[in-house]
Structure formats: C-alpha cells, structure tokens
Structure 1
Amino acid sequence: MVAPKTEGTAAPSPTRPARTNWGVGLLLFAAGVAAALQIGKAVAGLPSIRADLGLSLVAGGWVLAAVNVAGGLSGLLLGALVDRFGHRRSMLAGLVLTAASSALGAAAQDGTLLLLTRFGEGLGFVLTVLAVPPLLVRVTARADHGVMFGVWSSFMPTGSALGVLAAPVLLAHGGWRALWLAGAVLTAAVALAVAGAGRTLRPPGDRARLRPSPAMRAVLTAPGPLLVAGAFAAYALQYLAVIGFLPTLLTTEYAVPAATAALLTAAATIANAPGNLLGGWLRGRGAPRSVLICAGSALMGLSAVGIFADGSPLGLRYACCLLLSFAGGVIPATLLGAMPALAPSPQAQSATVGLGMQGSTLGQVAGPPLVAAVATATGGWGATPAVLGLAALIAFALGLALHRFEDKATP
C-alpha cells in the first residue's frame, strides 16, 4: 500500500480556503456535467441523425467530433482569454453559449447547420471546462485537492452517460431534436444556478482584463504542460473513438436494439467515472502520476485488441469496452490534477488547462473520423487496434516523460 501524503499545517494561501466548500464544488461539477452531456447526446443520437439527415459514416464521425474543434484549434488561446476575462464570467458565458447552440441545432435540417451548431456547443464546452479548475482551487482546501479533482475529472463520463441514458425516452417521443432541446434546457438551468453562487466564486478585485496574456508564451515553453497536452490527446483519441462508435458497432454487427445499445453504451461510458475517482484516490495516497498514466495506457491498448479484433464475440468486446473505459479513467484524473500545479505562474492556470484541453480535444476531433476512415478503407474494424494501440503507446511514453515533474506536480 502506498503511504498517504502529509500536507503539513501551513496556513492556507490566499487562493486556498481552510475548509473545502463542497456545495460550490459540486455545483461546478454540475457545470462540467451539463457541458459534457452535449457529447453523450450525440453518441446516442447518431444513428437517428444519420437516418434523418442522410449522413455517411464519416459525416457521422464529424457530428461526434465537431464539438471538439474549438478546443482543438484554440484551447491555449481560449485559456489565456479566460484568465484575463475572469473564470466565473467565462464559465457562465460558456454555459449560455452551449445552451443556445443546442437549441438552434434542434432546428437543423441538414448536416451543415448541425455541424455549425456543434462547433458552437464545443466553444461553450471549452469555455466552461477551462474556467472550472481555477475556481475549484479557490474553494478547495489543500488536503482535499486529490479527491476534488478526482470528482471533477469524472464530469465527462458522467455527463456523457447522462446524455446516453436520457436518449431512449427522448428519441422515442421526439427524436434526436428532443434530445437537443433537453440538453439546452438543462444547461440553461445549471447556468442560472451557478450565477446564484456569484459572490462565493468572485475573488476580491475581480475585473475583466482584455489585454493579450504573456502566459501563452510561458506555457508553450514549459515542457510539463506540453507533455500533459500530448498525453491527453492520445488518451482522448482512444476513448471517444471506442465510446463514440459503440452504439453503431452494437447495432450493425450484432443487431442489438437501439434502446439496449444506448444502455450498454451508457454503462461503458460511466465505467470511466470510477476510474476517475480511483485515480484521484491513488494520487491522494501518493501514487506517482507516471505510474498511473502508464498503467492506464497499457490496459487501454490491450483492450482495443479485444474490442475490434475480427470475430470477437459480443461478450468479449463489451467486457473490453468496460475495461478500456475504467482503466483509462485514471488518466484524466491524473492529468487534470497536475495542470494547475504545472502552470508557469498562478496567472497562467487557465492557459495551462487550456493547452491540456486543446490536446484532449485534438484527440477527440481526430479519433472518430480517423477510425471511421480506416474502417471504410479496409471494409471493417479489423485495423482499428493498430490505430488505437499506437495512441496508447504514445500516452505510455509521455507518462514516463512526466516522471521528472513528479515533485512539482504534487499539490
């Protein structure tokens, strides 16, 4: 057993409270869940969208990936702007933009408008998730850092699973458009709740400062954030490629009913959350970040073989999906917890998180279209393990490289 770390008895810093405000922390978690729901709804609604709008498999892959384009292209820049504009303001702006884009997307009559609104949802998603980590630091005592960020890192599987679980009822009664409208309503409600916690989240003297941030250059020249971004990209490529096409795989390869496929996908998605919590707990017990990243990457790569190998029975494929999601869950928990500590300065926290999320979103943008293109070119899923295995190997190597930053990345 790894011995727990001791945090000492030093007085809290100006940005660290003596006691954790769990109520506000969970409200911030809800903001991330609402943003991540936009990814899960597309996973569940993809077969219905393709049938309604006549989209190809590759175009369907872009419906999954378009929500990540904004973060993939400009995560670092957006992170720097979030630092300058204010974390609370940016989070609220992101939630409002996400809700509005989802509502507009429900009216799409072709793939072009749908993809544009997915880009808007993605921009809102990025603004939200870049702003939350510094706010969590503001309401979390140092001793609870690992647990809080373990909980926070599960926002993605929790939100995605919520979208998938809600899909069967909404798809049956209003089609994919009802799913989009429900996502808009929920996100707007969370935005109103977060706005009510304004005094708690607003630091003294908080004002928007719309000047170019010098933090961008510092972040881009710091090796720690670059390694985190690369590892996040490799992880995210594998995760969304598997979870994104799981309903399609189940319905086309095994004739699983759509409602059952949605439930199985939700279970595979939510399996990531216990992995997130495990990663946060192990970090709190002193487990090295490099070990967690390398172990998770190795298990993800091995699982991909069982998922996509030709002739794999349904039971084996699904068990490997669960393993990939659970084992991979320790990786984002580890990386998200390291980002604020690896920032070159306290004023560059969101820029550092932005670079990490840019890596994550680049992986999510690349994963579904790449896997779809390989499957289309080869006439099946058989070559997919090679693609995902390479990504797992990259994440493993970057995890090893992060070992030299272990002391600095300890909160």
Structure 2
Amino acid sequence: MQQQERGTNWVMVLLIWAAGLGAAAQYGKIAVIFDRLPALYPGVGAAMGWTVSLVGVLGIVFGVVAGLFVSAFGYRRTLVCALALGAVMSALQALHLPFGLFLLTRVVEGISHLGVVVAAPTLMAILASGPARGLALTIWSTFFGVAFAILSWAGLPLVDAYGVLALFGVHAAIMAVLAVILHVALRDVPVPARSRCPDLAALPALHLSIYRSPYKLAPAAGWLFYTCCFVAVLTVLPPFFDESIRPHVMGAMPLVSIAVSMTIGALLLRQMPGVTVVQMGFLIGVASILWLWAIPGHWLACMALAAGFGLVQGASFAAVPQLNDIAAAQSEANGAMAQAGNLGNAIGTPLFVAVIAFGGYGALMLTVALLLLCGAVVHQGLAFKRRRWAADSF
C-alpha cells in the first residue's frame, strides 16, 4: 500500500478527473436547464433538442480514431487546449448569442469534449502505478454521473438566483482555471512519444473491420442504446415530476447509477460475463420504464431505472477485454464505444423531444422501453453470431 501511494500522484489524478467533470458538464449544463431554454430562445420548437446533442457530432465521425489524433497532437497539449477551447465556447454562450450561433458553439464544444475524454484517461493511467491504475480509471468512469449530480444540486440553485447565462459563465471560468492549473502541473508528467497523424483514407476500412466483428462491435452496439437513453432521459423527464422532488430525483439518479455499477455490478461481474450483466441492466430498465408509465413521476421507479443504467454502464466497459484478448482489438472496440456513445447522445434528446411533441408522455415511455429492449436483443444477436464464428473456426 505504501508503495502504491508513493507511485501514484493522486492530486494530479483528481485534477484530471475534475477536467472530466468539466467535459461532462458540456452535456449536463444544457440537460439540467433544458426546460428553461425556451425562455432564452422562444419559438425554436423541436430544434431545441440539438442544443444537447450537437456536442457529439464530431465524436460520431472521429470516435474510432480520436486516440490516434490525440497521440499525434500530444496528450498534455490536447487536454489543456481542449479545456481552453471549452472555456471560450462557454464564455460565448454566456453572451446570449443568436440561436444559430449558439448551436455552432455547441458543435465546436464537441472538439473540446472529445479531446478531454480521450486524453484524460490516458494521462490518469500514466500517473497511477500498479493496482492503483484500476482504481484511478474507476474514479474516471464516474465523471458523467458526478457532474450531473453537481449540476442538479448546485447548478440549478445558481440558475434560480442569477439565470441560465450565469451557469454558462461559471462553467467557462472553471474550464479556464483547470486549463491554467493543468498547463503548469502536467509539464513534468512523462507521456508517450507523439505518433504520426492517421491516414484519413484508411478510415473506411478501419470502420468496416470493426463493424463486421461481433467481438469488437458488441460493447459499442449496446452502448449506443444506453447513451441514446441516459442523457436524454435526464433531459426530458424533469418536467413530468413535481417541482418539490425534481432536483432531488434528478440529482440522485446519476449517483445511484454509479453506486450500483461499483457495487452490485462489480459483484455480478465476478460471477457472469459482462454481456449478461448488460442485458440484465437493459431488462431492469424496461421494467422500470413500464413502472413509470403506470405511475408517472414515481421516484422509486426512477431509482430502479438508474440502477439498470448502472449495470449497463460498468459491464459494457468490462465486456471490451472479455471479448477482445489483443490490445489492438481492445483499442478498436473502445474507439467504437466512443463513436457509438456520441451517436447515441446526438440521437436521444432530439428524438425524445419529437416523440413528446407527437404523442406525449405515453409515447416517450414506449420509445424508451423499446430502445432498452433493443439493447438486450442486439447483444443476444451478436452472442449468437460469436457462437457461429467459434463453431466455424473448428
């Protein structure tokens, strides 16, 4: 234990984790105040859904190879520049830009977000030695849920007191401070040598090889349905809750998801494959949505839904090395997960906003239930395909 503590710079690990919180807030700062945006931009209608999802557009295109680009640019430089770029975009948003320009800043924020989420865990793995590396990356995996909880419990009171634009301004200040601190603190951190910039002409072939493999594709396939629902549900559900419990439920859901992932999920993964745990999480989610359909706004149903999300969250990452033994294959599977995650985040909120406009709360519940069920079914289909591949290899 003493050796671990001497070999791991926990202060730096937590600073980089804080950068992850800032990146997660690029989604969360819009999600938690989504029901207040029409007052800021009246008459926009269903297009308001893109205010959340446009951050993921560049991740959809470059998710698989983002690690190669970051390696070529440099991990330290990427993290600092991504934080600085995020600070500038939030500062512009605090000026109450016209809606079109606001959406453009959200696209540019996607560069910032992708840079942080690719560079930060790599730097954390360098800073953590031996067994502490797993703990450091487990801490990293909580960044989305913790950021949403902080925004629900601290961001919403700030908005109540000073308005939506104040939240954007505070986010800009935090990102700028983190950029300055990490610019200084990361100077002496050893990093891998920069690689050559990837050949863009090779991207289609790389994507095709991943999508054809039921081993590399499986974690990403389930992750697509999870991310399509997670942020979007936290974004569109609040108006359907009583205002007296709304911030408490929305703040607790991400934390329940994290707690279940790190406790029950970890115990289940010792007994069964990650894919099985993911399917359990999806089916728990389906049952919870049907519960919410029958009893709208029930807080316990929301906690059950968060628990299902938590099982999917942790087990999806665990499934990558379980299904792919070779490091290169794991890297490709992780890249596919990044791409699928951004695609899911981009699709979810606009889809749910349109569904609510068309069919109301009942249509929303049906859509979420179908997406979660599809996540379990797709995993089952890919499991059948893996068994066929294994049988054909003999």
TM-score (norm 1): 0.81
Using the TM superposition, give the Cα deviation of residue 176 of structure 1 relative to its aligned residue in structure 2, in angstroms: 0.6
Corresponding position: 1:312 with 2:299: no
Between the aligned partners of 1:106 and 1:393, the Cα distance in structure 2 is: 39
Corresponding position: 1:157 with 2:145: yes
Say whether the 8 Å CA contact 1:130–1:353 is kept in structure 2. Answer: no
Corresponding position: 1:334 with 2:315: yes
Between the aligned partners of 1:82 and 1:346, the Cα distance in structure 2 is: 18
Alignment partner, residue 392 of structure 2? none
Using the TM superposition, give the Cα deviation of residue 37 of structure 1 relative to its aligned residue in structure 2, in angstroms: 1.4
Using the TM superposition, give the Cα deviation of residue 235 of structure 1 relative to its aligned residue in structure 2, in angstroms: 0.5
Between the aligned partners of 2:323 and 2:6, the Cα distance in structure 1 is: 22
Alignment partner, residue 304 of structure 2? 323
Say whether the 8 Å CA contact 1:140–1:148 is kept in structure 2. Answer: yes
Alignment partner, residue 231 of structure 1? 222
Alignment partner, residue 210 of structure 1? 197
**1:269-298 alpha-carbon deviations (Å, 9 max, x no partner):** 332221332377337746521222111111
Say whether the 8 Å CA contact 2:68–2:195 is kept in structure 1. Answer: no
- Structure in which a larger fraction of residues adopt helix: 2
Between the aligned partners of 1:188 and 1:116, the Cα distance in structure 2 is: 20
Say whether the 8 Å CA contact 2:269–2:277 is kept in structure 1. Answer: no
Between the aligned partners of 2:188 and 2:321, the Cα distance in structure 1 is: 20
Between the aligned partners of 2:276 and 2:145, the Cα distance in structure 1 is: 22
Between the aligned partners of 2:152 and 2:279, the Cα distance in structure 1 is: 29
Say whether the 8 Å CA contact 2:216–2:329 is kept in structure 1. Answer: no
Say whether the 8 Å CA contact 2:68–2:197 is kept in structure 1. Answer: no
Alignment partner, residue 209 of structure 2? 221
The amino acid across from 1:42 in the alignment is I
Say whether the 8 Å CA contact 2:34–2:236 is kept in structure 1. Answer: no
Corresponding position: 1:391 with 2:371: yes
Alignment partner, residue 349 of structure 2? 368
The Cα RMSD (Å) is 3.2
* Partner SS, residue 266 of structure 1: helix
Corresponding position: 1:93 with 2:81: yes
1:174 to 162, 177, 180: 162
Higher deviation after alignment, 329-338 or 287-296? 329-338
Structure 1 residues 64 and 80: CA distance shift in structure 2, 3 A: same
Alignment partner, residue 51 of structure 2? 63
Alignment partner, residue 288 of structure 2? 303
Using the TM superposition, give the Cα deviation of residue 87 of structure 1 relative to its aligned residue in structure 2, in angstroms: 2.5
* Partner SS, residue 64 of structure 2: helix
Between the aligned partners of 1:282 and 1:86, the Cα distance in structure 2 is: 37
TM-score (norm 2): 0.84
Alignment partner, residue 7 of structure 1? none
Unaligned runs of 5+ in 2: 388-394
Corresponding position: 1:36 with 2:24: yes
Structure 1 residues 283 and 207: CA distance shift in structure 2, 3 A: farther
Say whether the 8 Å CA contact 1:78–1:354 is kept in structure 2. Answer: yes
